[in-house]
Structure 1
Amino acid sequence: MQVEIWTDINCPFCYLGKKRFHDALDEFENAESVQVTHRSFELDPNVPEGTSGDVVENLSKKYGRTLEQAADGERQLAASAREAGLEYVTSGRDMGNSFDMHRLLHWAKELGRQETMLDALYAANFAEPEPLFGSSDRLVEVAVGAGFEEAGVREVLDDPTRYAQDVRRDEAQAQEFGVQGVPFYVFDRKYAVSGAQPVELFTQALNQAWADRPTPTLIGEGDACGPDGCEVPR
């Protein structure tokens, strides 16, 4: 069974949703047969590359809130994150263009280490006070700290065309699905879950998608090999 998850590094609910989904997946009896792929979604692709802005100030301007109201929202998110067992820095975090991070995630997917890269980027953004956005050197530091080779990371970051089409394909698919926000989970291209839902709902989605997997309809039967060997026709 395939589960595709559209996310953005800027998104705190993606950070929280990842933990809740994996808590459900850890208890799912068929977890070893579930393939998880993280797909790209930019919350604000118009943010200039190479820039970094304060999260609280950005939330205040974007939603017409006071700075204190925006800061209180961050504190509420931190409480939810900590309840799920995650660290969350409530002040000093930054936001910015995430396109290069999505390119790195596609590169890590080729290496079979997409989860490792995503966890490292989430931790750097939500659990560490040092700014993450606007500096390729910071991205290199985070990736190398997660065990990726520095030369490979820089090679991707130095070539803006690397994996750019992969990111755009993910975003185009999200648009076809009508995705308006993230996180967005798609189970076998049949069922979908939107938002950082409780663990119980992810468990329900996994069970339902697994039960409804398509079963091939046999339209012909002939000589074949099985566990007991191959019967030679007489």
Structure 2
Amino acid sequence: MRIDIWSDIACPWCYIGLTRFGRALARFEHADDVEVELHSYQLDPTLPESFDGTEADYLAASKGIDVADVHAMTAQVSAAAATEGLTLDFDSLVVTNPRRAHRLLQYAKGVSGQAAWDLELALLTAHFADGLSISDPDTVSALADGVGIAPDAARAALDSAELDAAVGADVRAAAQLGIRGVPFFVLDEKYGVSGAQPPELFDRALQQVWDEEHSG
């Protein structure tokens, strides 16, 4: 069974959604027969490489809303993350464009699906919990090293035109599928699940698609 997942490293709901899906998959009876491929997506391609302010400042400016409303939004996301044992530190978050990190994820996919999965979760943790810059070469090469990717290869991937083209191809594929938000899960190239759904929904979806594939 194949599962394709579109996500953005700058998306807190992706952090929550991938965590929930990962837990559902880990307890799925046929997990060893499930192939997962991660795909790049950018909710805001205009994110700057460097922003002199907090995530709340950026969101207020980009969405045209009051900072107090942004804090209410991030508090809601943080509460949802806490249900999965995740801590989100929006005050320390380094606002930066994740495009370079997405190129590295494309490289990781060529290493193995597990390497890409582990790297994406490491990048999400670095971004949302640890206050690290996911566009900084030293930071991301260290994270890559932690999942078995050579730091030199990771650094080269950050500015690779070929890998950037792969990121763009993922984004265009999402558009063709009508994906307008992430995380977005496509099961068996037939069924779409949008958002950071409860783990129990992923449990049911995995079982349903598996049963359909193996009926008769």
Instruction: Give me the TM-score of the superposition, normalised by structure 2.
Output: 0.90
For 1:205 and 1:64, locate their aligned partners in 2 and report how far apart those are by CA, in whole Å: 37
SS across alignment from 2:213 = coil
2:6 counterpart residue number: 6
Taking structure 1 as reference, are residues 133 and 118 closer, same or farther at Cα in structure 2, changes over 3 Å only?
Answer: closer
1:114 counterpart residue number: 116
Structure number with bigger Rg: 1
For 1:92 and 1:209, locate their aligned partners in 2 and report how far apart those are by CA, in whole Å: 40
Gaps of 5+ in 1: 217-234
**Deviation at 1:35?**
0.8
2:84 counterpart residue number: 84
For 2:131 and 2:100, locate their aligned partners in 1 and report how far apart those are by CA, in whole Å: 20
**Deviation at 1:214?**
7.2
Between the two proteins, what is the percent identity of the paired residues?
36
The letter for the 1-side match of 2:189 is R
1:178 counterpart residue number: 178
For 1:80 and 1:25, locate their aligned partners in 2 and report how far apart those are by CA, in whole Å: 20
**Deviation at 1:45?**
1.3
For 1:64 and 1:151, locate their aligned partners in 2 and report how far apart those are by CA, in whole Å: 40
**Deviation at 1:133?**
4.3
**Deviation at 1:37?**
0.8
Alignment length, in residue pairs?
213
List per-residue Cα deviations over 1:113-149 (Å, max 9, x = no partner).
111211110110111023x144333322333344432
For 1:90 and 1:10, locate their aligned partners in 2 and report how far apart those are by CA, in whole Å: 12
Taking structure 1 as reference, are residues 210 and 138 closer, same or farther at Cα in structure 2, changes over 3 Å only?
Answer: same
Task: Give the helix-richer structure, 1 or 2.
Answer: 2
Alpha carbons 2:119, 2:147 under 8 Å: kept = yes
**Deviation at 1:36?**
0.9
SS across alignment from 1:163 = helix
Instruction: Give me the TM-score of the superposition, normalised by structure 1.
Output: 0.84
**Deviation at 1:202?**
0.9
Give the root-mean-square deviation of aligned CA atoms. Answer: 1.9
2:167 counterpart residue number: 167
Taking structure 1 as reference, are residues 172 and 3 closer, same or farther at Cα in structure 2, changes over 3 Å only?
Answer: same
SS across alignment from 1:43 = coil
For 2:187 and 2:94, locate their aligned partners in 1 and report how far apart those are by CA, in whole Å: 32
Q: Which moved more, 1:13-22 or 1:60-69?
A: 60-69
Gaps of 5+ in 2: none
For 2:146 and 2:89, locate their aligned partners in 1 and report how far apart those are by CA, in whole Å: 19
